[in-house]
Amino acid sequence: MMLNTEQRVLAALRGEEPDCVPVFIYLNPYTESWYTSDPSYSALLDACKEHADVIHDWYLPMGFFASAAELPRESRILPGGLVEEILRTPAGPVTRLMARDWRGMAPRKRWMSTVEDARRILSIPSVPFRPDLGPFLANRKRLAGKAVSQVTLPDPVGLVVEEIDPEVAAVWTLEQRPLLRELLDVAFERIADLLEYCLKAGLGPIYYFNGPEYALPPLMSPRDFDEFVVEYDARLVRLIHSYPDKYVIIHSHGRVNRFLERFAAIGMDGLNVLEPPPVGDVVLVHAKRRVGDHYCLIGNIQYDDLARKDKREVERLVVEAIRQAGSGGGFILSPCASPYEQPLPSKASENLIHYLLTGREHGRYPLRLP
């Protein structure tokens, strides 16, 4: 019996064999986005409707300040195109510097670069963050049978470190550990409060967390990962799992091979992106042997390989990923990043369509791989 996308993906997250290996790509052809208005993506988006397991992802608009009292902000243009933003907290002003890059505006100096900055940030009173959930619920209803719905949030370390200059965060793990814990405690409380709001409203079935990659070497140590990621994220996962039929995926780039068992201690249902060598260090067959009984493996084909190699090599990569991790279920085939080119080169479009077709052809259970 053919399953729909939601049934297929959730079965994989439970560690089961669905009708076939879910085949994912970071595109949603059913909602408006920059790529849905780009003609170079049209053929690929049509293929996604036909052959991909689409995830309708709603990135909850939560920064560290989303659950904090609204405060006066100012901005001014500086030489060199920099924009200085000023936030006036009860304990004094904090600033950040923004500059334009290929993503839009990106920070050059984050809100917290000194201990005094952090103390001022902590002086901001917390308030409940209550975004409008109506659009998510309406889209979930509209896309029933076509896509599985997912709520994306930062975890505590992601929420905190996103606001700290990276070099400063690394130094603070040694010199200001109690301060980091205080920031993480505040972040956890704000995320948990928002999660309760979402869970009680019936959002899901998937919750997706960004952030653990901030606590990987070289920025932080295994001890830091245990204290700043596992300790906090495990509590969030337990909260989500206390509601029926809810699932958690953790996202992390980086060299996670030595941390696979540490991720298992979080108790989530799936881990992506599991980057292979040489950029990452995860070999799927080894990961399957070590943690395949603990959570669903999601990955692990580099986007650049899919976009730039020939179709024969794309097919080899797909078949090899399914061979290494598909047996017994608990596997979702996925690239390690999303398409980003504007316009999308025709070769990349053709290769990504071939990736979808090959995943469907060779991912049917019981597996009969060439």
What does the pLDDT look like over 163-208, one tens digit per residue? 999 899 999 999 999 999 999 999 999 999 999 999 999 999 999 9
pLDDT at 103: 66
Asked if residue 287 and residue 189 are part of one domain, the reply reads yes
Q: What is the C-alpha to C-alpha distance for residues 129 and 277, in angstroms, rounded to an integer?
A: 40
Instruction: Say whether 289 sits in a helix, a strand or coil.
Output: helix
Mark 246-282 as b/e (b = at least 16 C-beta within 10 Å): bbbbbbbbbbbbebbebbbebbbbbbbbbbbeeebeb
Q: Which of 59, 93, 125 is the last residue of a domain?
A: 125
Average pLDDT over residues 238-251: 98
Average pLDDT over residues 134-159: 96
Number of domains in the chain: 2
Q: Which of 91, 108, 125 is the last residue of a domain?
A: 125
Is a pLDDT exceeding 90 seen at residue 305? yes
Asked if residue 147 and residue 110 are part of one domain, the reply reads no
Average pLDDT over residues 218-242: 97
Asked if residue 137 and residue 20 are part of one domain, the reply reads yes
For residue 369, being part of any structural domain is answered with: no
pTM higher than 0.75: yes
Rg (CA), the chain: 21
Instruction: Say whether 185 sits in a helix, a strand or coil.
Output: helix
Q: Which residue from 62, 327, 48 is spatially nearest to 192, judged by alpha carbons?
A: 62
Question: For 62-117, how does the pLDDT look when each residue is reduced to its tens digit (9 = 90+)?
Answer: 888 887 888 888 999 998 889 999 999 999 999 999 998 766 788 999 999 999 99
Q: Which residue range forms the structural domain that includes residue 182?
A: 5-67+130-362
Mean pLDDT score of the chain = 95
The residue ranges of DSSP E strands in 78-180, in sequence order, are 83-89, 92-101, 104-109, 147-154
Q: Distance from CA of residue 7 to its chain's centroid?
A: 21
Strand pairing report for 147-154 and 104-109: unpaired
DSSP letter at 344 equals P
The percent helix, strand, coil of the chain (3-state, each to 5) is: 45, 20, 35
User: How many C-beta neighbours within 10 Å does residue 11 have?
Assistant: 18
Asked if residue 287 and residue 166 are part of one domain, the reply reads yes
Residues 6+ apart with CB under 8 A from 31: 56, 139
Is a pLDDT exceeding 80 seen at residue 1? no
What percent of the chain shows pLDDT beyond 90?
Answer: 91
- pLDDT category at 237 given cuts 50, 70, 90 is very high
Question: For 11-25, how does the pLDDT look when each residue is reduced to its tens digit (9 = 90+)?
Answer: 999 999 999 999 999
**In this predicted structure, which of 56-65, 247-256, 317-326, 359-368 has the lowest mean pLDDT?**
56-65
Give 333's strand partners: 23, 299
pLDDT at 104: 76
Q: Which of 90, 107, 125 is the last residue of a domain?
A: 125
Taking CA atoms, 18 is separated from 13, 145, 313, in Å, by 10, 15, 26
